[in-house]
Structure 1
Amino acid sequence: GLRRTVTDEFGKLGGANLIFVMPQAMVLRDGRWVRAKRYVPMTLKDLHLVQGVSDRIASTLPILDRGVEVRYRKASYQGRLSATMPAFIDAFNWEVETGRFLSDRDLKQRQAVCVLGQDVVEETFGEISPLGYEVKLDGVRHTVVGVMEERVILFNNWGDQILVPVTAAQRRLFGSKLINGLFIHTVEPDETAALVPLIEATLKREHGRDAEYRIDSGQGILDEIDHVILIMKLVTGGVAGISLVVGGIGIMNIMLVSVTERTREIGIRKALGAKPGTLMLQFVVEALVLSVFGGLLGVASGVGLGIGISQVIEHFAETPFPSVVSWSSVALALGISVTIGLFFGIYPAARASRLDPVDALSYE
């Protein structure tokens, strides 16, 4: 369930189609952070340069954001300013609810317009439609042209976003032509690995071989997530393994007590001709029944706990978090329970089958 949630939610942002590029001031070498050979800040010129690397790049967007105060009349809200471009909504699969998104004309003419997230609208305008009204972003007037639909991704509510044309933001809000980095979306997810070296080579050819850049792909991030989930599975598997051994020892002790309490019964059965193999099979079956019922109870508890946790997370995080139970995992759990019961039930069963009938009948 965790992996599906992370993969599905990350997919809404571009997922495996995504490449991040950021200039590096510090780099990790031999386990130590050291100053980069040369730090080269990025501008929109780099954005256009990278966009021309290959026709397999669907879009290239700037990374440029910071906190900002949104003010309308007496109402104010502390939101997140994102300076971006018209391709943003297609790249990140985010739709406009009312009005329109930023246009190429807004970008070229550096228009002081903005598109607001749902939380911004609720906190500053209430029930009023904000379209056509002016808000102040850190004191700078901008006209509201659109409102984005409600969105929560990976427990992160996007309702605090204020989206403005990057060209206008650089002039009016940042006072600089620099950007923090690039979001690059490829046409197909399997093309990121081939494009990463091309992008790095293009930037180094433009700025010099000693310029340092950090380039991460969405697929690389998904691989890291898989690695983390694998570690979590191994840790929880280790804990579960210890619990199973303890449970197995419990079954063995219960069966030993049962053998002791039923010693006279075993002696009578042996005196009537019961074979050691029959007695051993009886106690092994009893151990298996205990372990199977324990396994079924554990599966039911696990499923119920998983559903409960997922509902709690969905309620408080306001994001889908399904509890996924596969038949293979249920079969594996029951198979392990049966194996534990068989392994720890053999010794008590063997002990019962080896009892001497004379000693067993005289046992008090």
Structure 2
Amino acid sequence: MSSEAPEVAGTAAKVDELPEHAEGGKYTTPGKEYTRDTRYITTRITADGADGYPVAAGRYRLVAARACPWANRAIIVRRLLGLEDAISLGLPGPTHDARSWTFDLDDGGTDPVLGIERLQDAYFRRFPDYPRGITVPAIVDVPTGAVVTNDFAQMTLDLSTEWTQLHRPGAPDLYPEHLREEIDAVNRKVFAQVNNGVYRCGFAGSQKAYDRAYDRLWSAMDWLEERLTHQRYLVGDTITEADVRLFTTLVRFDAVYHGHFKCNRNRLTEMPALWAYARDLFQTPGFGDTVDFQQIKEHYYVVHTDINPTQIVPKGPDLSGWLTPHGRGALGGRPFGDGTPPGAVRDGERVDPAHTASSMRG
């Protein structure tokens, strides 16, 4: 089970406790540390349908904004496992208002499968008085139009373990049973100090809160630098769930976290092992081909008006370095284990070429 998402509580979150990928509200509270609300809809889609939602091809739609790191995880895992035919993909735009993520990238501003303009409609279809943020990623039951789950941490684990009958031939095992204890331990540390750590820096409400978050972040980054100096992947010799979870933070680090969130002791490009590791994953099918740098920058700099009230989106940094040689093959390892890489990105799911690393030169 997920270590990041406790069961949903019955009370509404305070505005200043809403998750980063929730809608609206302030993100910082003067004098306080940033606290992420980790109460999600914990309904699961499983092979046995124990929660009332059995695995079934074509029944569900993954709604996942490319801008959001938590949603980016689900997009990557879906692609690595070859679940494109089993679970359709809805892509909200990179910005949202105080109410909801919106489907402004689609014709008429309406999701073509769900027929809704705002993701909140799927939440309200199941929970008319839903009290918390309308978050991505979310999986929606297409026949009813109702949200099933937004528990992003459990969601990707279930895609790996409950959807196996619909995996592509050659799909990798991203959560191998013999490594789960170590993967879970690494994930807990990475979530607390890195994935969420950058937000604790960016949304700190006082100097003391910022200093504490900054020190925790860089302690973990130094730990990762040391660990990845000697091994190609975080756990074992193949790509696992742990790598997916770390990657979506690293790929945003220099583009937004270093400056926007004041995580500026080093750029990622100044940490040899982490930078090479991140490039290795970026150049692996299923990772970099899901990343839209322009949407990422637009989301953070436009939505977080308490940090960036002018909403100016910087032109830099130069991101073309993501395509340079990484040399990580010398450490051994087999990216997909006994499996194979995913095929080409499907029509309609390709990142705009103008938003890729080769085009983002600052």
Alignment TM-score > 0.5, same fold: no
TM-score normalised over the length of structure 1:
0.24
Instruction: Specify the structure having the higher radius of gyration (Cα).
Output: 1
TM-score normalised over the length of structure 2:
0.24
**More contact order relative to length (CA 8 Å, sep ≥ 6):** 1
* Greater strand proportion: 1
